[in-house]
Amino acid sequence: MSSTSCARFPAGSALLPSGLLQLLLLASLAWIASASWTGTVGELRCRCVKTMQGIHPKNIVSLEVIRAGPHCPNHEVIATLKKGSEICLKAEAPWVKKFIQRYLTYGSAR
């Protein structure tokens, strides 16, 4: 009679050693966190919580206009200043609308 050997696990033990299981879980979470979904999903909330009105247009280097959509019900206008900081402008303000039109026409904030 030949006996076959089988690996036996005590009741309640995991199939993988706990260290390997934790490493596999950590690697999976790191992969999910590093996945870049910005091209398809983007930011799922409004970027502009507070808007400013009193900024001189000469201090603006570039503009980013984000249309309203499922992520945010408002149009958002984000200006990058010469200092490098970003501020949100009130999209409905007449001077902002005029400035955006000039920016689009001439291609720069100058």
- The pTM of the full predicted model, rounded to 2 decimals, is 0.54
Task: Please report whether residue 12 resides in a domain.
Answer: no
- Please count the CA atoms within 13 angstroms of the CA of 101 that sit on its side-chain side: 6
Total domains in the chain come to 1
pLDDT surpassing 80 at residue 12? no
Structural domain including 69 reads: 57-106
Indicate whether 85 belongs to any domain.
yes
CB atoms within 10 A of CB 15: 7
Assigned domain for 47 exists: no
74 within domain boundaries: yes
Asked if residue 71 is part of any domain, the answer here is: yes
Instruction: Report if residue 31 sits inside a domain.
Output: no
Q: Looking at the domain assignment, is residue 79 inside a domain? A: yes
Q: Is residue 75 part of a domain?
A: yes
The DSSP-derived string for 22-88 is: HHHHHHHHHHHHH---TTTT--SS-S-SS-B----GGGEEEEEEE--BTTBSS-EEEEEETTS-EEE
> 66 or 9: whose pLDDT is higher?
66
CATH of the domain at 95: 2.40.50.40
Stretch 81-110: mean pLDDT, rounded?
Answer: 83
